[in-house]
Structures are given as structure tokens and as C-alpha cells.
Amino acid sequence: MTLGVWSCLVFWWYPFGMMVGLAASAMAMTSIMLGWRAGKEGQHLAWFGLFFGGSGVGLAIASYRFMQLVFEDSLPQLPLPI
């Protein structure tokens, strides 16, 4: 879960934030599949890790594409209707 939260905090740091999010998602999926639980009462914190890891990856991709659109203007242009 900590890696997932960290990936949400550093999503703007493009290659690093995405890799941390992917690692968090992979660890969370492994934990879910193997049935590992954490905490005093055995909570499934892996689901939160999967959520935050996926959110970090999504934010990284969205911010990267936004920067391409704004600064590089490299997204395809749609023709204007006449």
C-alpha cells in the first residue's frame, strides 16, 4: 500500500512514478492471489495498494499525455468541419 501511495505522490516524475505504481500493483496482485493479509485483524490492505498503484499509473499517463498536448503539440489534429 505504501508504494501505491508513493506512486500517487510522485506521478508527475514520469518514469519513476509509473514504475513505482506498476511495482505496487504487481505486489498487490500477488498478495491478493496468495491471500496474504496485514494488520492486527487481517485486513486486505492489498486492495488499497492496488487502487493507489493503479491511480498512480493512470495519473502518470494522463500527465504525460497532457504535457505532450500542451508543450509539444504532438497529438494528432482533427480536421475542422466546414
> In a 10 Å sphere around its CB, with 0-12 CB exposed, 13-18 middle and 19+ buried, how is residue 16 labelled?
middle
C-alpha cell at 30: 500477488
28 near 46, Cβ under 8 Å? Answer: yes
Q: Is residue 54 part of a domain?
A: yes
Query: What does pTM read for this prediction?
Result: 0.76
Query: Residue 71 pLDDT more than 90?
Result: no
Print the domain residue range for 21: 2-71
C-alpha cell at 4: 501505491
Q: How confident is the model at residue 2 (pLDDT cuts 50, 70, 90)?
A: confident
Q: What pLDDT was estimated at residue 76?
A: 64
Number of domains, the chain: 1
Q: Is residue 82 part of a domain?
A: no
- pLDDT tens digit sequence for 14-43: 889 899 999 999 999 998 898 878 767 777
Q: Is residue 44 part of a domain?
A: yes
Query: Residue 74 pLDDT more than 90?
Result: no
b/e burial code for range 31-48 (CB count within 10 A of at least 16 → b)? beeeeeeeeeeeebbbee
